[in-house]
Chains A and B, each alone.
Chain A
């Protein structure tokens, strides 16, 4: 057993876990943050993507202990109260989700993509960057639209801040 201290969605958390516990298990089973999903177990599908210190990581592919001292943000932590994150709003407005299972990981990856590329996003780049996130419902058409839409919204909201 190990004690893992980390910040999750802005709150300090201390959890005792088996050494083999994955970060996704810590989030889902210990903290009841079930918005982060497991879709493949092999780091392919990206349903488990969260942010660690601001960067997208696959939480099924790292041990909880590796997140000791880190700041983790999950899908539950990106809206400001009732105000959705621009990426969440763009997924809804562009019908970028159907069953919703891949959606949290998609949104967390997409935010990271926009952060890394700034305003320099086009369709081909978004499609290439989404390589690590699999969706079976949407054919990606509306996800790509949503990410491009959100990139514009995020630029506007950053400019406003």
Chain B
């Protein structure tokens, strides 16, 4: 490892622009002649749009246009799509209602756009929006997933009777029933996985610019995957063919999944810019983010786990109702199915699993992938079940987990996934040691003497990341391939540009990706730049989500580097009059092994471009590209243990210690990996203690600002105690598993297991607010 190579704690190259205020986010961009959009959104959860009168607004100063849902339908802009086909257990395809970018006839959630005002300034657009009169006829609404499946519930889409999108199953029902029939003990649990609002700190924004002479659009947008945005906008929404649409995702202020999706606002901005003949900018405010960014989680689950007389798990049955909101967002269908139920084996040997997932429409904001996406729901369920089982079976929770750990790899679970490697005992040992698990009983007794309820909670998570082999996801219904591309361009002076289809919105790719180049060539990272986020610069890419950028994106860069190095070695060998096989790369030089003959990398690059003395038949230049498609998911795993105290008088929880022992395979930059874990833990703890996107019975959101929705603040969280154990991922040459989502996947169960341990009552829903904890403590 060099000072800037793989494994080095290199400070980030991108930081200087962010700490000096020179970041360039979408809202920072101004175009000549730019207009501003303000959306008129439904205040009702369910209503017919009977009429829109924009005559007064159109007379107001600075108003350029008022455009409606009917116009966007008339112009044949496509409806929003869901890109992953799921088949119900009866063989029928999932049932979906149409989702136009602005509603022409019916609104189905509060915040759905019905029209847009385009004006000379944002303030003028807002003023005019006040003067647009929309006549609604209110309809009965339903927000709760269990209410929505009852007979007589308000119906959202005629295409989906009973509000049911699908009723999907996985696993072997007969084998699972047989396991339960023979079980020595059965543990049952009902859990709700609370709905969350992603809340990247930068609100979504878009600027669309139509060039009528070239019939070409440019879209600046807050996207985690600009190429996927271009593909969907072109292929499905009829905006423009791909070569006539450039999508740029510049600095993006956090995503957490919510900026994967192509939203109505980008579509409307593009369409409107052509209609008004000027650039159109839309920047969401925080309340719009709460109303329209795809939410996360929102499951209601009943689960049962069967054990034999030796406390070995013999079977697992799960039934989950997943709330999709009012429309099927881009990847929503895959989240409670292939990203959730396929992880229900956890870290454990479970011979038989059967899960059923019912996807349900409600009059709420659409739900899709949010950090972890299905895997937090699976991990929370399994780890709450394990804790419940340990209490019921009266065994130590860590020991029960150890009894059931998978220890042989590869391991085929009954729910599709084939775990490639891992060492679950190692991460459990590391976490138990870090928190002094053995000394907990003494600490609990001492806390009790001080009048405090102390608890400890274990969570052993596993996730499937590096999403994923295209062939595999294709066979499961995905509409896209999930490879990644890279291009290595060596300039004649030996500086290097790496073009990647991954997109950094906080992950630090501009540093970590350079570290791979530094490792291989021995050049300083200052000589390397990372180019991403622009469809005109990077040929194609699948973007950043699912902890895939290092495992998939960086491997694509490695493949392109290998091709470039191979050509460079030929050039060096020719120049040094040596055999190509004798050339080694060290400290920025190409050397003849065992001699003092060497040529510096910039001279190799220059030779490639002067082309005065290349090997016979070799093309000039030094530029190579690669597409990399992995052979399997990766399987990061680890153990989190939380120790905390509960004040029985107030129900308030205070952290004593939070330890994390993660196995992410090889780490490129441990500093950045730790940062990813910290942030994930905060989101997992936020879900456990604070966060809940709440709707009233009529579908009115009651948490639509930071005044109502409890975002984790600095004093809600502890400092974290992190460590790593390592089994290298065999599925990619760098041995990387991915680290972006682990914290959010594993943390919430550790917290709830600890609180329920402290208060001595097992049933407690998230978020465990002081009020809820107090009521649980003092319930009869």
B3 within 8 A of A: no
By a CB distance below 8 angstroms, the chain B residues around A76 are: 20-22
A118 within 8 A of B: no
Q: A139 to B201, alpha carbons, bound, how many Å?
A: 13
By a CB distance below 8 angstroms, the chain A residues around B508 are: 98
Determine which residue in B11, B201, B672 has the highest number of CB atoms from chain A within 10 A of its CB, and name it.
B201
B706 and A44 contact, CB distance less than 8 A = yes
Nearest CB of chain B from residue A123's CB, rounded to whole Å:
7
Digit string of B692-716 for contact with A (CB within 8 Å is 1, else 0)? 0000000000000111000111110
Say yes or no: A144-B20 contact (C-beta < 8 A), given A18-B123, A99-B505: no
A62 within 8 A of B: no
Give chain B interface residues in 1-27, CB to chain A under 8 Å: 11-12, 14-25, 27
Nearest CB of chain A from residue B21's CB, rounded to whole Å:
2
B28 within 8 A of A: yes
Give chain A interface residues in 110-158, CB to chain B under 8 Å: 123-124, 126-128, 130-131, 133-144
B706 and A138 contact, CB distance less than 8 A = no
A99 and B675 contact, CB distance less than 8 A = no
B254 within 8 A of A: yes
B714 and A140 contact, CB distance less than 8 A = yes
Determine which residue in B19, B675, B720 has the highest number of CB atoms from chain A within 10 A of its CB, and name it.
B19
B706 and A99 contact, CB distance less than 8 A = no
B715 and A131 contact, CB distance less than 8 A = yes
B16 and A45 contact, CB distance less than 8 A = no
By a CB distance below 8 angstroms, the chain A residues around B123 are: 18, 20
Nearest CB of chain B from residue A11's CB, rounded to whole Å:
15
B717 within 8 A of A: yes
A58 within 8 A of B: no
A140 and B682 contact, CB distance less than 8 A = yes
Q: A116 to B412, alpha carbons, bound, how many Å?
A: 59
A47 within 8 A of B: yes
Which bracket fits the contact residues of A?
Answer: 35 or more
A56 within 8 A of B: no
Give chain A interface residues in 13-48, CB to chain B under 8 Å: 18, 20, 28, 33-42, 44-45, 47
A59 within 8 A of B: no
Nearest CB of chain B from residue A20's CB, rounded to whole Å:
7
A35 and B21 contact, CB distance less than 8 A = yes
Count, chain B residues at interface, CB 8 A: 56
Give chain B interface residues in 486-536, CB to chain A under 8 Å: 505-508
B590 within 8 A of A: no
By a CB distance below 8 angstroms, the chain A residues around B715 are: 124, 127-128, 130-131
Nearest opposing residue in chain A for B720, CB measure: A141
Say yes or no: A41-B285 contact (C-beta < 8 A), given A76-B21, A91-B15, A98-B507: yes
A53 within 8 A of B: no
Contact of A137 among B24, B203, B679 (CB under 8 A): B679
Determine which residue in B14, B16, B679 has the highest number of CB atoms from chain A within 10 A of its CB, and name it.
B679
A97 within 8 A of B: yes
By a CB distance below 8 angstroms, the chain B residues around A100 are: 14-15, 17-19, 23, 251, 253, 506
Give chain B interface residues in 284-314, CB to chain A under 8 Å: 285-287
A-B contact pairs, 14 of them (CB 8 A): A18-B123, A28-B27, A33-B21, A35-B22, A37-B25, A39-B286, A41-B286, A76-B20, A100-B14, A100-B17, A136-B711, A141-B678, A141-B719, A144-B719
Interface on A for B, CB 8 Å cutoff?
A: 18, 20, 28, 33-42, 44-45, 47, 74-76, 79, 84, 88, 91-93, 95, 97-104, 107, 123-124, 126-128, 130-131, 133-144
Give me the 7 closest cross-chain CB pairs, A-B, nearest first: A35-B21, A101-B253, A100-B18, A139-B682, A99-B506, A44-B706, A98-B506
Given contacts A39-B203, A139-B680, A139-B712, 15 further A-B contacts (CB under 8 A): A20-B123, A34-B21, A34-B27, A35-B22, A37-B25, A39-B201, A99-B253, A100-B19, A101-B23, A101-B202, A126-B714, A134-B201, A136-B682, A137-B201, A137-B506
